[in-house]
Structure 1
Amino acid sequence: MPGTLYLIPNTLGYSEGQQEGLLARIIPDTVQSMSANLPYLIAENAKTTRAYLKLLAQNHPLGRALQEIQISELNVNTPEKDLEALLAPLVAGHDAGLISEAGVPAVADPGANLVRLAHQRGITVRPLVGPSSLLLSLMASGLNGQSFAFHGYLPTDAALRSKRIKELEERSKKEKQTQLLIETPYRNAAMLEALATSCNSNTLICVATDLSLPTESVQTKTATEWKARLKSGQAPDFHKKPTVFLFLAD
């Protein structure tokens, strides 16, 4: 009988000095306990996953020594042909966990194809409760939570990015749908400027940064208000910080 593939949530990030009590605030205790006892993990990065396990061990003793926990890597560069091998321990009857680098697995994160293959192989998939930056930002934005769409990254070319924003704004206006985007953290300023200048004046734009962290910031303003703030040097404190951008056309 195949094992179970647990989808393990991770924190949305932390810095030195923020570790104490961090998991208790973000990850349910039962999820921590289940994660600590898995013998095999599939992760984006083995090094950072070991760091997470050390953090986890502060609250729950690991089921086996850290060096005995098998960690296989799955990232955006993993060939499709390697997925079968990643599932081999589960097919053999062992439980495993798919863990994200930040937030929840398979959402704005590698892993969806592995989960699909697990279903095809008759492996039970169990999602565990944890933080999702997309849902947290939507909750806090004040924008439409009944209809929304996530588009990942937009083009880096300024002209193509502006064109894409206008296309999504038209869709937002027509369907009353909130649009969600992410950006490489060092390009956050360029993204907000593009949204503020490309969108219509009354379009609401939300900038959600460092969600669930002590430095969390969520601000929703019109495109006109953001343009004025940027012009006066009042940009959000979001340089090199994980940020979700949302907008809803009037």
Structure 2
Amino acid sequence: MTASPTPGTLFVVATPIGNLDDIAPRALETLRRADAVCAEDTRHTRRLLAHFGIERPLLALHEHNETAQADALVARLAGGASLALVSDAGTPLVSDPGFVLVRAARAAGIRVSPVPGACAAVAALSVAGIPSDRFAFEGFLPAKAGLRRERLQALAGEPRTLVFYESAHRIEASLADMAALLGPDRPAAIARELTKLFETVLDGPLGDLAARVATDPDQRRGEFVVVVQGAGEDADAALAEGRRVYALLSAHLPPSQAARLAAEITGAPRKGLYGG
């Protein structure tokens, strides 16, 4: 009787978020040894591998085909192949594809092993000067303005630091909504183009940051991580909840009436909700 093959391993490999020198030696070795590399964008990953002189078969695995491809990839792993999973930049599954494959592999008893490295969210937290002992990673906010504001309203009273990813074409609108719904005085930081040539990290109150980005086209280019301090446990939380309730009520009532009711409901100061 022929013995069943020993299953291979799915390696989840972090790649640089900008500076190629940040790739880990073990990541390079894993990519060299893998039977194939599952890549979010094979063109992008081919350039990365070529930079380090690595030639491996590439398999496209992205949000549009991951569910359809997962079973075939798990079968390949079960047959003894070892696969490396990478995203375009940073750690896979962190606002990137890979969850469906990782879950399917684990359910099939396949070993899934991380090869740690860069992560834009953690890199931004490390330099933001915002409390990082407890944080909530929110990834990308919804693209549609109404849904984005609903999400921010729901997060207004969150006491943990909030971490968002954002794109160049939505950063201005997202910051304006954050200032309006989380509060213009809330401490925040914007990390742009981390590890790249034009890296900048701006910090200050959300209102000031929103104004800076709105008036400086250079600060609307590239890839962004926005780190926002959480609402305090006491007065800050009450104010954040008041703003959330005010935003809901103001869609149906005059601003002054909405502010008065929101203040009565939450105990937040009316002046902090509606300028007077």
TM-score by length of 1: 0.82
- Structure 1: state its 5+ residue gaps: 14-21
Structure having the higher helix fraction is 2
1:11 corresponds, among 13, 16, 33, to: 16
Distance 2:217 2:154 in 1: 25
Contact 1:42 1:86 in 2 (8 A): no
Contact 2:26 2:115 in 1 (8 A): no
Equivalent position of 2:223 in the other structure:
242
Equivalent position of 2:162 in the other structure:
179
Rg comparison, structure with higher value: 2
Equivalent position of 2:261 in the other structure:
none
Distance 1:26 1:79 in 2: 27
Runs of 4+ in 1 over 4 A off after TM superposition: none
Contact 2:176 2:207 in 1 (8 A): no
What are the equivalent positions in structure 2 for 1:1-250 lying under 5 Å apart?
1-13=6-18, 22-23=19-20, 25-57=21-53, 62=54, 66=55, 69-78=56-65, 80-171=67-158, 176-229=159-212, 233-234=215-216, 237-239=219-221, 241-248=222-229, 249=231, 250=236
Contact 1:149 1:178 in 2 (8 A): yes
**Cα distance change, pair 229–185 in 1 and its aligned pair in 2 (3 A):** closer
Q: What's the Cα RMSD here?
A: 2.1
- Structure 2: state its 5+ residue gaps: 1-5, 237-276
Distance 1:163 1:92 in 2: 46
Distance 1:167 1:126 in 2: 35
**Cα distance change, pair 34–6 in 1 and its aligned pair in 2 (3 A):** same
Residue 227 of structure 1 and its aligned partner are, at CA, apart by 4.8
Distance 2:137 2:224 in 1: 13
Contact 2:9 2:111 in 1 (8 A): yes
Residue 167 of structure 1 and its aligned partner are, at CA, apart by 2.3
Residue 169 of structure 1 and its aligned partner are, at CA, apart by 2.0
* SS of residue paired to 1:182: strand
Contact 1:204 1:222 in 2 (8 A): yes
Q: Which amino acid aligns with 1:39?
A: D
Residue 184 of structure 1 and its aligned partner are, at CA, apart by 2.8
